[in-house]
A and B are shown apart, each in its own frame.
Chain A
Amino acid sequence: MTQLLDRPLDLKAPPSPAERTAHRRALLEWTAIHSLGIAAALFFTLPFVFVFLTSLMSDSQALSRDLIPHTWEWDNYRRVFDTPGFLTWWRNTLFYAFLGTALTVVSSIPVAYALAKFRFRGRNLALMLVISMMMLPPQVVIIPMYLFWAKQLDLSGTLWPLIIPMAFGDAFSIFLLRQFLTTIPDEYLDAARVDGCGELRTLLKVVLPMAKPGIAAVALFQFFYAWNDYFGPQIYASESPGAWTLSYGLESFKGAHHTDWNLTMAATVLVMAPVILVFFFAQKAFVEGVTLTGVKG
């Protein structure tokens, strides 16, 4: 009798010890993984936070080891914009990035389409050469290229030596687009051809609308490439500050404001911000692009 009473009265079987440990282990695992996640998130975000906080410090406080501003000097950002040249660098960067991206996309699409969908002798060789060009450091051919642009065409001191080549296909963009275009089934193209479309019309009317995500990814990568490019402007534009881009000018900013880390960090924030904004608007296309280059095994 006493034994019976001691038992819980509900009819549901109590969790067995095994079930209870499994549940406890799952909870423990959840906690451990999310703690690790938060630790990692701190590692990835704290640098941004410290840079941003420092960009708002007063000149004297920026020299100290303080982490948090005493007074919030939003005026620092205005001072950055007032720096001679800063607006010109913005304009040049936008010009380089937009025009370069447009030229790259327009010139790379037909090449990628041919490599993905035409059958011709030497196709694999062409693709291997594209990959080789993609993997080659730009420094390998820079000496003859510089001599060509500077001595023969007298275009050093401008960004044209960086923009003009983009009208002739960019290896990375060709490769990435080609990867994307191969995933479009041939039946769509055949249907268009049966309807009497030539290759150009098939490309424009059938393939392009389907390839939008791939094109978006390529455009984003190319835009970021131009935005981030340091070596190119250093070679061709260094002699004329009127042609500098943000990535190149940012460094001289540190020189002009020797120890003013607050202003240098404000300028750094202003160079990072547009890229991050663009990312938030186009996150899906971008991540898709990274996965495409990553290649499924």
Chain B
Amino acid sequence: MSTYTLRAKHRRSTLRTLAFLAPWLIGFTVFFAYPLLSTVYFSFMHYDGFKPPAWTGTKNWTYVFEHYPFFWPALRNTLWLVVIMVTLRVAFGLGVGLLITKIKTGTGVFRTLFYLPYLAPPVAATMAFAFLLNPGTGPVNSLLEKAGLPTPGWFNDPTWSKPALTLLALWGIGDLMVIFMAALLDVPKEQYEAAELDGATPWQRFRYVTLPNISPIVMFAVVTGVIQTMQYYTQPLIAGKVASGVIQGAGTQFEPGYPDKSTLTLPQLVYNLGFQRFDYGSACVVALVLFALSMAFTALLMRRKGGLITAGDR
């Protein structure tokens, strides 16, 4: 084959690849690369949407880090959610996954029941929990009272609002349950049999057979959990709005984070700065912080041995 036809062939295959990738290449440029660069640009501009953008240097950055009262509480809440909510979700997901693999009677029914809450639309699920955990009329507190237990203020009490959100997150454990279930069923049976012959207790079997086998999945669940926490928006916002009684359209503006900034998360700050205060520049600063955090954890996920990319290649 002459070099000419080879080159033509190569060019044709490049064109073909480009044609197949075209939708995404356009989408990537218009809806990702360009707005990301604009976000960097606007973070150095004063812009309220009316007067043309004006250069302000690092003023937006110092404002967000030093004077904006919501930034550090939101970051602290994110840390709380990463340490406590993500950990509990992974532990609970593993627990429910283990339980479902042990259930021998009615497995299908149990699995469906355990999975369903994950599907509940976030706004609807949060409204439901705001009702269930309503300190005055909610069924949870009336049951707790009947049992002679303390009745927390849940979404109306700054110390209980994040635990209440955690409860909501544990309710929707279905995604992790399915992932852990698949991983647990993949653990080679012979290893359990060998352990049993050696006289291992159930705990030792879990510790020395199950855990090492599923540790990549545990890692995956932790990192994706952290990334999801960076995106945590709808649930804390709706919970705060419903509990505070301030709802859209009433002419009043909702100060996010009710009660007492305890449900603030970083994505809410972008909305607060950009769409309530019309300070697009400072909103872009928070957006970039969010970008840096998400990308750092995504890099961690991609570096994982046998990570996302090779998965399925086998």
The chain A residues found within 8 Å of chain B, CB to CB, are 30, 33-34, 36-37, 40-41, 43-45, 47-48, 50-51, 54, 62-65, 67, 107-108, 110-111, 113-115, 118, 120, 124, 126-133, 135-148, 151, 165, 167-169, 174-175, 179-180, 182-183, 199, 224, 227-228, 230-231, 234-235, 238, 241, 246-248, 250-252, 254-255, 258, 261, 264-265, 268, 271-272, 275-276, 279, 283, 287, 290-297
Contact = CB atoms under 8 A, between A and B. Distances in A.
Given A255-B250, A291-B179, A230 B105 contact: no
B49 A255 contact: no
The 5 lowest CB-CB distance pairs between A and B, nearest first, are A168-B27, A255-B247, A294-B179, A297-B216, A144-B38
A262 to B, nearest CB: 10
B217 A251 contact: no
B171 A43 contact: yes
Interface in B161-178: 171, 174-175, 178
Contacts of A131: 298, 301-302, 308-309
Contacts, number: 295
B26 A135 contact: no
| Most A-side CB within 10 Å, residue of B112, B119, B217 | B119
Query: Taking chain A's interface residues, is the majority helix, strand, or loop, or is none over half, making it mixed?
Result: helix
- What size tier do the contact residues of chain B reach? 35 or more
Interface in B122-179: 122-125, 127-129, 131-132, 134, 137, 139, 142, 171, 174-175, 178-179
Interface string B243-256: 00101111000000
Interface stretch (B11-19, B81-89, B191-199): B11-19
B116 A294 contact: no
A167 B31 CA distance: 12
B123 A296 contact: no
B128 A47 contact: yes
B302 to A, nearest CB: 6
Contact of B122 (A54, A141, A199, A228): A228
Contacts of A291: 178-179, 182
B189 interface: no
B110 interface: yes
A78 B55 CA distance: 55
